[in-house]
Amino acid sequence: MSANLLLGGFVESGASQAAQHMGGQKTAYMTETAPRAVFYGQIIGSFVGTLIATLAYRLYTSVQTFPSKEFDIPDAHMWLVAARFIHQQGLPPRALDFSIAAFVIGAGLSVLRIMGQRYWWRKFIPSGVAMAIGK
């Protein structure tokens, strides 16, 4: 189970990092900034952030224990509960059906948004990405 938790954490952090880089590239496009400069800045920021986060963690753990009542780690609890649930009980019945239906609905909404770019009703169609994120 700990390997599943570790792999889940890597996947989540990789997806988060990729989303941040894509957002940075979109900002570079919108502000007419050189994408290569933004990319190099992101790489340098990721590297420096890793060093600072490691040093801050070492500093905090020398004074406090983690997790504690003062410093809870909600993401770790979420991953642990999910891993225990899947390992012990498995996914709920019809979870695959729900996932496929959610994909079809999200894809359909995205197609409607693309096709309706010139129409007044486009602003009333929710984004499939916003549905996936839950915002």
Whether residue 11 is found in the same domain as residue 75: yes
Range in 10-19, 51-60, 73-82, 92-101 the model is least confident about: 73-82
* pLDDT band of 4, cuts 50, 70, 90: low
Domain ranges, residue 9: 1-90
Average pLDDT over residues 1-5: 64
pLDDT for 44 equals: 92
Handedness of CA 120, 27, 21, 48 (dihedral sign): negative
- Grade residue 135 by pLDDT with cuts at 50, 70 and 90: very low
Rounded mean pLDDT of the chain? 81
Quick one: average pLDDT of 72-97? Answer: 77
| 47 and 100 share one domain | no
Q: Is there a contact between 113 and 131 (Cβ–Cβ < 8 Å)?
A: no
- Say yes or no to pLDDT of 45 above 50: yes
Are both 80 and 103 inside the same structural domain?
no
- Residues 64 and 11 reside in one and the same domain: yes
Distance CA 61, CA 13 (A): 22
Say yes or no: 108 and 129 in one domain: yes
What is the crossing angle of helices 74-88 and 2-30, to 10°? 130
CB neighbours of 32 closer than 8 A, spacing ≥ 6? none
In the three-class reduction of DSSP (H, G, I as helix; E, B as strand; rest coil), residue 93 is classed as coil
- C-alpha dist (Å) from residue 29 to 16, 24, 53, 77, 127: 20, 9, 29, 38, 21
Give me the pLDDT at residue 131, please.
62
Give the 3-state secondary structure of 41-55: HHHHHHHHHHHHHHH
Whether 67 and 126 share a structural domain: no
**Amino acid at position 43, single letter:** I
pLDDT in tens, 5-39: 677 777 777 888 888 888 888 888 888 889 898 88
CA dihedral 85, 87, 93, 94 (to 10 degrees): 100
Q: What is the pLDDT of residue 80?
A: 75
Same domain, 10 and 24: yes
Residue 134 pLDDT > 70, yes or no?
Answer: no
Out of 58, 75, 90, a domain closes at 90
Q: Structurally, how many domains does the chain consist of?
A: 2
Residue 132 has what pLDDT? 60
98 and 46 together in one domain: no
Lowest mean pLDDT among 26-40, 64-78, 117-131: 64-78
